[in-house]
Amino acid sequence: MLQGKKFILGISGGIAAYKCAQLTRLLVKEGAEVQVIMTKLAKQFITPLTMATLSKRPILVEFFDPENGAWNSHVDSGLWADAMIVAPATANTMGKMANGVADNLLITTYLSARCPVFVAPTMDLDMYQHPSTQRNMSTLRSYGNHLIEPNAGELASGLVGKGRMAEPEEIVAELKDFFAKKEKQDLSGKKVLVTAGPTHEKIDPVRFIGNYSSGKMGYALAEELADRGAKVTLVSGPTQISTLNPNIERINVVSAEEMYEASSSRFEQMDAAIMCAAVADYTPVHKADEKMKRNDNELSVELKATTDIAAALGEKKSDKQVLVGFALETQDAMSNAQKKLIKKNLDFIVLNSLKDKGAGFNSYTNKITIIDKHNKIKEFSLKSKADVASDIVDELVGCL
Ligand code: C5P
């Protein structure tokens, strides 16, 4: 799977740098080419001689060779690679990657790279938990970078917790999985509509009714579909997530009404639609033009039902089109999901329960059950939203 693939391995200065020797050996054994770029500090943890010998190429550290002025082009390296792996990624390096602090060759290469980027963080448990590290990792995820979660265990400091860099075998497995999916292209030529995120229903110019949806699940689905060859139309409510995937056309909307218009006008051209958005079920009847003033009495906001987008598409659906919905339930999960499946004329519904730890809004993981129109039920374990997206797309491919 990795035969002939070209990798940039960006090593930053953490004790786990020693694992890069093994990682490079495994990649070379798979038939891949590896160009190592090290930060200055990384050279203190593992020698350039070791890395150059194992990768069979001189390693790069500086922007240019001080002896002869030869330029180490970060742009060329960034364009050459099929993927960049930053391992170990220290808190410092991730901070620079997240904020574009381009003061070494590893970061300038990262900023120029057009290929997928895999990031394997490592650090002490308190550094890992610090809000700045967590925020930087979120930012990197929002750029579409693939974070390879560190393992929990004994750390170099002697403390025990999360922060051990993933093992070289795990990183190689993640890369193989990524390229296997990419090369599968089982949705080539298909057009898929995805709705994602929350909607905001205006009350007045400064207030709205919204919900906690982050859009992560919908964006993970759009990325997965696009990676497997589909042309994706992503109708997105307000989110903090960005996507650079050339197979994704993103249409930004705010309200349920706008989401309905954008989705229903495009549905006819689609082979499938996945309704992942947390659409408001009600919207204010009157939307005030001026900010509503406080008074000391109670305030009632009159609401009316929004259009159920999934149900509207379900009515229009042809025999060849596949429609997928989501159900986020807090009680009677299974029977409510089954009712929605029928009412909205879905081919299958993805159930997630807010009672499952790590599932639902704003987490990076999800735990789902898929129920299809023949009432076949498949339960899945807790997984990253990217892996959950892969399971859902597998089910969709089976229906198409
Ligand atoms: O009925 P409920 O809102 O729980 O149904 C959830 C499913 O219906 C999701 O797939 C959601 O995207 C979709 N939905 C919709 N339009 C609405 C409400 C929900 O498409 N107005």
What the chain holds in terms of domains, given with CATH numbers, is: 6-181 (3.40.50.1950), 185-287+299-399 (3.40.50.10300)
Across the range 143-168, mean pLDDT stands at 86
Contact assessment for residue 186 and residue 38, using Cβ atoms and an 8 Å cutoff: no
SS3 394: helix
Across the range 353-358, mean pLDDT stands at 71
| Count, residues in the chain | 400
Q: Which comes out higher in pLDDT, residue 205 or 358?
A: 205
Query: Considering only CA atoms, which residue is closest to atom 2 of ligand 1?
Result: 327
Determine the atom of ligand 1 nearest the C-alpha atom of 195. 12
Across the range 9-19, mean pLDDT stands at 96
pLDDT of 14 over the 90 cut: yes
pLDDT of 400 over the 80 cut: yes
Bridge partner list, 146: 118
From 322, 326, 343, 370, the mutation candidate for ligand 1 (largest count of ligand atoms within 8 A of CB) is: 326
Determine the atom of ligand 1 nearest the C-alpha atom of 280. 21
Query: How far lies 341's CA from each of 129, 197, 379, in Å?
Result: 40, 20, 16
Determine the atom of ligand 1 nearest the C-alpha atom of 313. 20
Contact assessment for residue 78 and residue 35, using Cβ atoms and an 8 Å cutoff: no
Side chain identity at residue 283, one-letter code: T
Q: What separation in Å is there between the alpha carbon of 340 and the centre of ligand 1?
A: 9
Contact assessment for residue 365 and residue 385, using Cβ atoms and an 8 Å cutoff: yes
Q: What separation in Å is there between the alpha carbon of 327 and the centre of ligand 1?
A: 7
pLDDT of 276 over the 90 cut: yes
Q: What separation in Å is there between the alpha carbon of 271 and the centre of ligand 1?
A: 19
Instruction: Tokens for 196, please give them.
Output: 């994602």
* d(C-alpha 264, C-alpha 314), whole Å: 10
Q: Which comes out higher in pLDDT, residue 138 or 277?
A: 277
Q: Is 347 left (phi over 0), alpha (psi -120 to 50) or beta?
A: alpha
Contact assessment for residue 193 and residue 18, using Cβ atoms and an 8 Å cutoff: no
pLDDT in tens, 29-86: 999 999 999 999 999 999 999 999 999 999 999 888 777 877 877 778 778 999 999 9
pLDDT band for position 141 (50/70/90)?
confident
Ligand 1: residues whose CB is within 6 Å?
195, 256, 275, 277, 279, 281, 306, 308-310, 325-327, 340
Q: What separation in Å is there between the alpha carbon of 195 and the centre of ligand 1?
A: 10
> b/e map of 318-333 (b: 16 or more CB within 10 Å)?
eeebbbbbbbbbeeeb
Instruction: Provide DSSP, 111-167.
Output: HH--S-EEEEE---HHHHHSHHHHHHHHHHHHTT-EE-PPEEEE-TTS-EEEEEPPP
* d(C-alpha 230, C-alpha 182), whole Å: 11
End-to-end CA distance of the chain: 26
pLDDT in tens, 84-107: 999 999 999 999 999 999 999 999
Determine the atom of ligand 1 nearest the C-alpha atom of 263. 20
Contact assessment for residue 98 and residue 140, using Cβ atoms and an 8 Å cutoff: yes
pLDDT of 332 over the 80 cut: yes
Peptide bond into 88 cis (omega under 30): yes
Q: Which of 258, 304, 263 is nearest to 281 (CA)?
A: 304
From 279, 307, 347, the mutation candidate for ligand 1 (largest count of ligand atoms within 8 A of CB) is: 279
Query: How far lies 270's CA from each of 208, 231, 316, in Å?
Result: 31, 9, 12
* d(C-alpha 90, C-alpha 98), whole Å: 12
> b/e map of 73-95 (b: 16 or more CB within 10 Å)?
bbeebbebbbbbbbbbbbbbbbe
Query: How far lies 119's CA from each of 27, 126, 173, in Å?
Result: 16, 19, 14
pLDDT of 199 over the 90 cut: yes
Q: What separation in Å is there between the alpha carbon of 311 and the centre of ligand 1?
A: 8
Average pLDDT of the chain, as a whole number: 92
Instruction: Tokens for 140, please give them.
Output: 């990197």
Least confident of 58-62, 337-341, 379-383: 379-383
Active-site positions read: 211
